[in-house]
Chain A
Amino acid sequence: MDLGIRSINCLDIWTEENNDIIKKWKRNERSPEMQQDARKRYYSDIHKLLQKIQGVPCVPGSVRLELTVLYNTLLFALSLSAFTEWRVLLTHGLVRALEAQGCHPAGSELTVLWQTALQIFPGTKTLSCLQQLLCVQGALWLCSDQLEELTDILSGPQKDVAAASGDMLAVIGDLRFSIEGNTALSVAMAPGELKELVHICTVTTKGVRAMEEGKYPRALLAFQQALSLPAPRTLLAQLHTMTGICLGKLGRTQSALQCFRKALEVDFGCRSALYQSSLLYGQLGNTQAEMEALGLLHAAVSLPACGDSSRDQPPLLPPESLLHSSTLTRLLATPSPPGVQHALAHRCLQSHRIPEAVEHYLDLLTSLQADGKLLVNTGGSPSLPRIPEIYLEAAFAMLKARRLWDTVAICEEVLSETVDLVPERLVLEVPVEEQQGPDCATQPAPLYGRSRESVVERLNLVLWTGASYLLQGQAYSHIKDHTEAITHFTRSINALLKVLVKSKDSWCGDPGQGAGVKLQTLRTLKSQALAGRGVCFLLTGRHREALQDLQLGLQASPGMEHAELWLVEALWQLGRKEEAVSRWRTRNQSSAHTPVLQEHKPGFLPVYLQHNLQNGVCVEPEGLRKKMEDLHCRGAAT
């Protein structure tokens, strides 16, 4: 081709320049290195070209070229999340295009411009350029959370473009782009592809908004509509997951599980589906399935290479770039690897799979201590419980597995952190929620604000210390080292007695709240420590102290089966046989409903204190049952 002739026409030069940039981009699109930098370069190239084109007045012949270059520029801007300039760029571009057509728009409002532009351009070719720009506009509005604006445009006076309903979705859905597109002018992303992406993302955003407002049926409809559209693999899996979550909220658990399964079929790396199904199984009480799901999730998060589906190069506009919703992020979040491991370990412990629980807890503690990068504070994902709680749970799992020295060691770790911070005295006078006023009197440090938080934290310290000593005491009593056990139980009691609760009733009012749970925990801890010490006293022959401790323990928290048994034993040993028998009788009568009562509220006490798990932790008095039953039979006989 003759260079001289080519260089005469600016339009041709610019067209070629545009095509060159796009060709280069397409060639390097999949190359792995420096994606972000490369995109920045292409963006700046194409932006420069646009500026060049806009340096001369727009004429009808150059409208298509200019609109296409603008389309490409905005696409790169979108992929870089550089949203600052787009409004100016678009307004400017539209005004120029309109002016080339001899039309001087009344205002610079984007909606007005669009309405005018869509009306005024008759030629199909120019209109298709305009329509592909409209898709970018849709994407941009989606990104900047301005869905309403697009609806506004399309509900304008032009009836031939807008659907009768004025629904932007319909309009965008109705846009038709020929497959081969415009061969003369290259584009970074086919407008058809973009249209589909914008369409599905808009529908999804609507669904997420409906979920935010709690309108699950509407959200469900939106997600189902989105699922009917072509979508990338990862987005499809997310849509299935969201549908599942909606169904779960609506109580259609089986359908929900079906959806999660579909999500996993579409994209095996969809962790949120796994996590959500584990949560749902947990709700349904299907421990086996829940553990399986958690196990899979754990495998997925520990092997990032296979689980992470976003490893291959992202396209120019991944769906995530158009879906900026904190709700969506929150709904699809999965716990960090330690979080998953903890959930797994916790469930194992709760369902009495002690060896597995021990294994998971040990792994978890190792990973927590490993000082590794994976542990870096990652902000948003669902949270782990407090670290001392994890330690105590682990110690309890060890205790149940009869790894007694491990229990002692783990508790020692917690104690080393907490003991010197335990307050001398902690007065809880009124409900914690209203503690600002009176608390000032007890907190003389002038700058020490956040009193409520500090009180709760001090209570936590007491509880952790008490629990650690308690678990150590229990471990020692299993070793039959009764003096050591008595020492630790005593320490536990001493620590726990530092909390002085004055108006109990207001605390007991709502056991579901954190403070209420804490007081319940305090009481349970106290009673278990007292009972434990009582048993040790009894076994070392100090019957009177044993009786006193056991009685105090039962008073603090009635319904501990093994403490009742030991109380009977203590009475028996003290020679108060009649009392023992009557105790035995009342216990037998109440035992029918007590465990059921415990089963009703398993969740709110720490796992290491839950009654249904305590079996096997406490030493049953040998031969008591037989003794009692004999006596009981005799008594019944007589």
Chain B
Amino acid sequence: MSGIRCSVKSLAEFQASFRPAQVIRFGTEPEAVFSNGTSRLFICSSLERGVTETRGFPGAVTQLVGSSDGRGVYVLIEHDGVYYTPLPQSPSPGVASSSPGSVRVRSESCVVRDHQVRSFLVTERVLVTVALRGGSWQFGLYEIQGHPSPCYRRLAELSVLALSDAVARADHQRAPPVLSCVRAQGGGGRAASGHFLLELVLFRLLFGVDVSLLSSPMILCGLPDGRLCCLPLLLPGGPGVRGQCCGVRVLHSLEQPVVFLGGGPSCLVGVGRGGALLQVRVGEGPEGPVLRFEERRVPGPVECVCISDTHLYYSTGSDLLALPLATRPPSPSPASSSPSRHSAPLSLNVTAVTGLATPTQNPSGAVQLLCVSHKGRLLQVMLPEQTDRCSVPQVSAAQVGQRIRDLLSSISSVADRGSSLESSIQTKRTALRSLNHVLNICSLLRPNQHSGDEGTTRQQPIRCRVAASWVSLLRDTVLLSCVLENSSTFLLESGWALCLQLAALPHAPHTAGPPAQTYTFPLKALSQGRVEVPVALEGEGGLGLPLTVRSWLVYSLQGMLGLRGAEAAGGDCLSLELDSLTLDWLDCLPLHGPNRTFLSSRRAGRRQAGGVAAGGPFAVSVRVSSAMLKGILGMDPAPSSLLAWLLSGPGIERSRRGQGSGGGQGCATVCARGLRLTAREVSVGQVCAGGPVCAVELRVDSASLRLLCGLHHALLHRLQVLFKEVAMTTEPTLQLHGQQLQQVLLQAEALCEEVRGALAPAALGVAQSESSTHKLIKTYQRLREGLLLAL
């Protein structure tokens, strides 16, 4: 039989539960109390409201037993003892808070302090404990006293020897003994958890007339070694039923750890962990009523069991099963007894149940089970009414068809939901993984953003190197080639983009045109992290030199969530600055060939570079004193060194120490198309009091005025930056000739006047004439010719 479909409702959720999960159901408020193997006890004042209160104990809760009056619950704490905690009785009317209150149970509530107690049971006036001590199972009987009382008084102790090999096994398996209390029918008593009523004849046959005459309850104990023991609760002097001298009698052995011992009125049931099922009934023997011990096997392993009058419900962990208990004793003729006579357990298709409460039956006859699941849920399982009668419902073919269709559709909808949930979980997982990745990279690059002007020599794990080269196709263009170097352990995956911003310097002479241009390259598209950006220097949208080039790594957060299309939406971006540098004319001189090789091969520049045109009508020069270069800048004052330093290119930290070996003297020249840059040693007199100053003159000759201006500006800018740094630290030592300086100043003032005069028409809106332009150019040239000496 494939099983029964029953409705399962999750009432409460908590953390995952461990082996000794237990649930008790009360008829009244609170409705259920359960534990999940942790140190907490959960109280549901009503099943609908879920957990309303929790109690924290000093140790792991291993067993729960409701007190006989239902006002409290006894709790066994591992390696500690038995505690009593009263339950909240009436629901406080104004309780609206959904969060369950938590109460700490203190050690004063311990009623039986014995750390070896493995299991216990509560009857009206006596609390029974079982402990494994000194090689025997000891049953302690304690008098229950009115609350509050510190500790219960021990009335008696009985023991039964433990089987020596079973002791170790029990320790290993941690299977606790199972206690239950059995009474004869009609003798009163209650049907609480762990309490069962048996028919008089069965009771007397099992336990003897004496116990029955005294109407004493019997304590049954299923030991982990498989033995089923019994002891009378109220039998003075312990004569032993049937003349035995010891109070504890062994009824039977299941030969596997006992997980349940109890029964309905007509039979006593014992269940072993491995699936051994013992049923003891009254049979008609040839000489009158006799006990019949029937043992059979059910599919195990049995995790937990509960019993109703008609069924035994048990969980194997993977399924919850209902086993009908035959109400009639088996047929008297022993020949007809065959295993097939037993009805097979019905699957209820509920998995992972670790704790079961006594089943209840609602007025319509449906059986309701309360379970604790392994995943940590309190479940309410409603069995269809038919199962109770142990018969398959009679339905018509049409109904069957309809039901199958319903089932199929519900299956498909569940499958759909399942797959969509799965994909969303997958997305979340990927997002989390990439977020983690992004954060790793962020933390890697963070120092980069703060290093600022420290000029660190430490290599950043991710860098962007920019090199520029002159391309002259249709018009003059600088080609920036950016190389993203990643020496970190993280891979820059899709979603990352390299962002370049080219911006004109704020005080650059070219103020026309857009101030900045931004380029974004998705990294996925870059081959080996190399990108080349052409920058038009002229015309519409052209940027003039010098330029600031800043580079970022950008990550789109939306890309992370898989919304690829929305990458451009911007805003939700994470940008990490990589590098920033200034690109000037010096960096992108239209040299022929790779300029560094060129330079190193031209020692002292004696040879003229075979260029298209070298030099031109326009020339500017800047002089820097050798002393300054050497002493202050720490540079070899040789002209070639200076030139090499100037041309060492952008992107890398310009080395202060010139890479030229400094062997050359005199003059060094670099030629490019329409341009010549010469450096040579000169001696400048009349400047200092101490005689002529040795200096290096940098001279630019060019046919293109634009090129000349740009290069001049670049030279000055570089030197300025350097001097600015140096000036802060050093004092000039040279004595300057005041007269000479005055002359220079006068010259400059005169030139300034000329410029103003030339600019006046332009300022007045008069079109510039050819002559004024020439004048200006001349002035400009005079201004730049041979005047400037950096000391």
Contact residues of A with B, CB < 8 Å?
33-34, 36-37, 335-339, 368-369, 371-388, 391, 413-414, 417-418, 420-427, 442-448, 453, 456-458, 460-461, 464, 514
Contacts and interface: CB of A to CB of B under 8 A. Distances in A.
Given A373-B125, A421-B209, A445 B285 contact: yes
Given A376-B143, A385-B239, 5 more contacts: A339-B237, A377-B141, A378-B156, A387-B209, A461-B209
Q: Which of A36, A422, A445 has the most CB of B within 10 A?
A: A445
A335 B239 CA distance: 11
A223 B334 CA distance: 63
A601 to B, nearest CB: 21
Contacts of B215: 369, 371
A335 B238 CA distance: 10
Contact of A445 (B113, B126, B292): B292
Contact of A377 (B231, B243, B285): B231
Contacts of B204: 417, 421
Contacts of B289: 420-421
B763 to A, nearest CB: 92
B479 interface: no
A107 to B, nearest CB: 29
16 contacts: A372-B234, A375-B214, A376-B156, A377-B232, A378-B238, A383-B237, A383-B239, A384-B236, A417-B212, A418-B209, A420-B200, A421-B209, A425-B286, A442-B286, A444-B285, A453-B242
B231 A448 contact: no
A383 B213 contact: no
B454 to A, nearest CB: 53
A621 to B, nearest CB: 37
B158 interface: yes
B214 A387 contact: yes
Contacts of B210: 386-388
A380 B238 contact: yes
Contact of B156 (A335, A377, A413, A461): A377
Contact of B286 (A378, A424, A456): A424
Contact of A379 (B143, B156, B205, B286): B156
A427 B285 CA distance: 13
B288 A422 contact: yes
Contacts of B238: 377-381, 383
Contacts of A460: 209
A301 to B, nearest CB: 11
Contacts of A376: 126, 141, 143, 155-156, 233-234, 236
Nearest to A340: B237
Interface of B: 113, 125-126, 141, 143, 150, 155-159, 200-201, 204-205, 208-210, 212-216, 231-240, 242-243, 245-247, 252, 283, 285-295, 334
Contacts of A387: 209-210, 213-214
B287 A377 contact: no
B243 A339 contact: no
Contacts of A414: 209, 213
A461 B159 CA distance: 28
Contacts of A421: 201, 204-205, 209, 288-289
A384 B211 CA distance: 13
Q: Give the 10 A-B residue pairs with the shortest CB-CB distance, closest first.
A: A423-B288, A447-B293, A383-B239, A423-B287, A387-B210, A338-B236, A384-B237, A378-B156, A376-B155, A375-B234
B334 A444 contact: yes
Contact of B283 (A378, A417, A445): A445
Nearest to B289: A421
Nearest to A420: B201
Contacts of A378: 155-156, 236-238
Contact of B213 (A413, A442, A446): A413
B234 A371 contact: yes
A110 to B, nearest CB: 22
Given A337-B236, A426-B287, A445-B290, A373 B209 contact: no
A261 B240 CA distance: 33
Q: Which of A372, A379, A422, A457 has the most CB of B within 10 A?
A: A379
Contacts of A369: 214-215
A417 B155 CA distance: 28
Nearest to B159: A379
B287 A464 contact: no
Nearest to B124: A371
Contacts of B252: 447
Q: Which of B141, B239, B289 has the most CB of A within 10 A?
A: B239
A421 B497 CA distance: 93
Contacts of B294: 447
Nearest to A383: B239
A448 B291 contact: yes
Nearest to B110: A37
Given A420-B289, A421-B201, A382 B209 contact: no
Contacts of A375: 214, 216, 234-236
B383 to A, nearest CB: 32
Contacts of A368: 214, 236
A464 B214 CA distance: 16
A34 B252 CA distance: 41
A445 B291 contact: yes
B239 A384 contact: yes
Contacts of B143: 373, 376
Nearest to B184: A417
Contacts of A442: 286-287
Q: Which of A376, A385, A445 has the most CB of B within 10 A?
A: A376
A457 B237 contact: no
A336 B252 CA distance: 30
A173 to B, nearest CB: 32
Nearest to B278: A447
A427 B293 CA distance: 22
Contacts of B246: 379
Q: Which of A391, A448, A514 has the most CB of B within 10 A?
A: A448
A267 to B, nearest CB: 23
A448 to B, nearest CB: 6
Contacts of B150: 33-34
A373 B155 contact: yes
A557 B214 CA distance: 33
B209 A377 contact: no
Contacts of B293: 445-448
A381 to B, nearest CB: 6
Nearest to A418: B209
Q: Which of B209, B214, B295 has the most CB of A within 10 A?
A: B209
A140 B287 CA distance: 58
Contacts of B243: 386, 453, 456, 514
A50 B291 CA distance: 61
Nearest to B209: A417
Contacts of B295: 447
A458 B287 contact: yes
B287 A425 contact: yes
Contacts of B141: 376-377
A354 B504 CA distance: 131
A377 B214 CA distance: 12
Contacts of A37: 113
Contacts of A335: 237
Contacts of B126: 373, 376
Given A379-B156, A448-B290, A443 B285 contact: yes
B388 to A, nearest CB: 30
A383 B216 CA distance: 17
A313 to B, nearest CB: 16
Contacts of A384: 236-237, 239
A388 B237 contact: no
A391 B214 CA distance: 11
Q: Which of A338, A374, A383, A514 has the most CB of B within 10 A?
A: A383
Contacts of A373: 125-126, 143, 155
A262 B213 CA distance: 41
Contacts of B155: 373, 376, 378
B214 A444 contact: no
Contacts of B283: 445
